[in-house]
């Protein structure tokens, strides 16, 4: 019996989801895409899993995109051909990236809220070379992360981007030594899990949902969502008044 192409395991407050096809540089075929969808569903149902950490097995590649040898992805799938790329999760997600992060794999990394990358990582819309379109959110998410001008450059040229440049342009949030990406992502996941969840998730939702709104509309959304968690804010203010968190302690 063949091993599952996607592994789901709980590590503390994190759901660690691993694309496990290192022999194919973790390229996604139909079974892998379905495994990613099932992992997201499981993460959403798991109240104890406060952050998803998504990575690729083997360390050579996070994900090299669609498996062009299989060519069996469902292009019309409502959740996205590569898995869950047309779905916005309700909780934070972190991509732990090592090695190649290409084409549809790049689009999966953009789906995540944060990206922790190793020094030897390389990003690229390499599908440009083969005439394959971006259909897993890349045209929409990349410009929201790095800006229109840079997004157009990377999309039109398909050129490689190393870890240093990725950090400089805001594509990567942090660069770590080889082999440390999952460990660091899990550390960050525990940090996020330790914050009061209601307000953190409210602010996350306002940031994501407000991306396509005008400033007045975005401010109204922020105000409405903020009012829904004022009781949590009051408790937090009382803790601060009592001496917690002074000088940035615990932040």
Query: Between the CA of residue 15 and those of 52, 195, 215, 250, what are the distances in Å?
Result: 5, 17, 34, 23
User: What is the token pair recorded at 135?
Assistant: 């259909």
Which distant-in-sequence residues (6+ apart) come within 8 Å of 200 by Cβ? 92, 192
Query: Got the DSSP string for 189-211?
Result: HHHHHTS-HHHHHHHHHHHHHGG
Catalytic member of 23, 44, 127, 153: 127
Q: Is 187 a catalytic residue?
A: no
Q: Which residue in 107, 119, 174, 183 is the catalytic one?
A: 107
For the question of residue 183 being annotated catalytic, the response is no
Alpha carbon of residue 197 to chain centroid: 18
Q: Helices 197-209 & 230-241, crossing angle to 10 degrees? A: 130
Which are the catalytic amino acids? 107, 127
């Amino acid at each position: 019996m063949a091993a599952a192409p996607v592994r789901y395991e709980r590590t503390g407050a994190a759901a660690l989801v691993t694309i496990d096809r290192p022999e194919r540089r973790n390229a996604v075929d139909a079974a892998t895409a379905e495994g990613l969808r099932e992992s997201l569903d499981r993460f959403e149902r798991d109240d104890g899993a406060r952050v998803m950490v998504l990575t690729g097995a083997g360390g050579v590649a996070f994900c090299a995109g669609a498996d062009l040898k299989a060519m069996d992805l469902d292009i019309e799938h409502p959740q996205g051909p590569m898995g869950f790329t047309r779905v916005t999760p309700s909780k934070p997600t972190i991509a732990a990236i090592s090695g190649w992060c290409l084409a549809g794999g790049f689009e999966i990394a953009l789906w995540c809220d944060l990206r922790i990358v190793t020094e030897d990582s390389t990003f690229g819309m390499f599908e440009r070379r083969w005439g394959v379109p971006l259909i897993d959110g890349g045209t929409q998410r990349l410009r929201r992360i790095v800006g229109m001008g840079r997004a157009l450059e990377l999309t039109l040229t398909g050129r490689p981007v190393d870890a240093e440049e990725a950090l400089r342009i805001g594509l990567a949030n942090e660069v770590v030594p080889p082999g440390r990406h999952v460990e660091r992502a899990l550390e960050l996941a525990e940090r996020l899990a330790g914050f009061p969840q209601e307000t953190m998730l409210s602010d996350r939702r306002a940031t994501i949902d407000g991306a396509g709104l005008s400033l007045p509309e975005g401010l109204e959304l922020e105000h409405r969502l903020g009012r829904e968690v004022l009781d949590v804010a009051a408790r937090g203010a009382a803790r601060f008044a009592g001496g917690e968190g002074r000088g940035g302690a615990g932040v």
